Structure 1
Amino acid sequence: MEDLAAPVEEDFFTTLVRKHMPTTQRIMQKAKGCLIYNAKTAESVYSTYHDNTEDLASNVCDMLVCIARNAVREVNPIDELRFLRIATKDYEFLIAPTDEFVILVEQLDPSKQPVAATPNAGKKKKPK
């Protein structure tokens, strides 16, 4: 009789990341930091931050999401918050709250990102 090992079942987070891998990779190329935590327990699932920063970020994120959700419901009681973007002079914070997880991505302000040089950059065309 053969002993076949039962297939290992992936957790929800791993399945979610696999499903959205191209998007995740694109986002992480510009990310300065990332935090994914359980919305119900506030337990970190993935983080690029230190413990103290992680706790502070999740607490502030929860407050911002709560305020934004309330503002959305004031305007339309049946609508719900899907995405929150906060841009400062130097950074941009992208927050995607769901029922199970909250995803926070911190990236440098796009205007501060280095631009790849192109061969014709800075050259003026000669008039004909």
Structure 2
Amino acid sequence: MSEIEEAINRVKGRVKGLLITGPDGNSVRSTMTKAEDSKLTGYINQLVDKARSVVRDVNPANDMTLLRFTLKRHEILVTPGRNFRIIVLQEINKSEEGAKPT
């Protein structure tokens, strides 16, 4: 088994979904259904492109390395690479919902 497969198997048990997309935005590897893949990648790709352009507008020498945002029930982490994007979808624990940020 390759290092990539081992890493995916380690992460798979801890998150709700893991998705790796190619430079064209199409899914390369995923732990989610095709319907979830296409819906998530469509929105995420648009959001990442806009966020990356904002970062470059602020300082052209910078580039975005991680995008993390929290929804009511999920947290989404995106690492945009040059040749691929890794999207991780994780559920928020019920115990963390009531916790106030420090």
TM-score interval (norm. to shorter): 0.7 to 0.9
* Aligned-residue offset at 1:56: 1.3
The 2-side partners of 1:94 and 1:75 are apart by 22
Q: Which runs of 5+ in 2 are unaligned?
A: 97-102
**Greater RCO (Cα-Cα under 8 Å, separation 6 or more):** 2
The CA RMSD measured in Å over matched residues stands at 2.4
Confirm whether residue 87 of structure 1 aligns to residue 32 of structure 2. Answer: no
Please say if 1:30 is aligned against 2:14. yes
Cα deviation 1:77-96 (Å, max 9, x = unaligned): 11001000011121100101
The match for 2:49 is 66
Q: Residues 53 and 70 from structure 1, CA distance in 2 versus in 1: closer, same or farther, beyond 3 angstroms?
A: same
- Spell out, residue by residue over 1:24-52, the C-alpha distance to the aligned partner (whole angstroms, 9 max, x if none): 72x4332001111102x222111122212
Q: How many equivalent residue pairs? A: 95
What is the TM-score of this pair, normalised by structure 2? Answer: 0.79
Take 1:62 and 1:99, find their aligned partners in 2: how far apart are those partners? 13
Larger Rg, first or second structure (1 or 2): 1
Pair 1:30–1:112, CA change in 2 (3 A): farther
Is there any run of 5+ residues in structure 1 with no aligned partner, and where? Answer: 1-13, 115-128
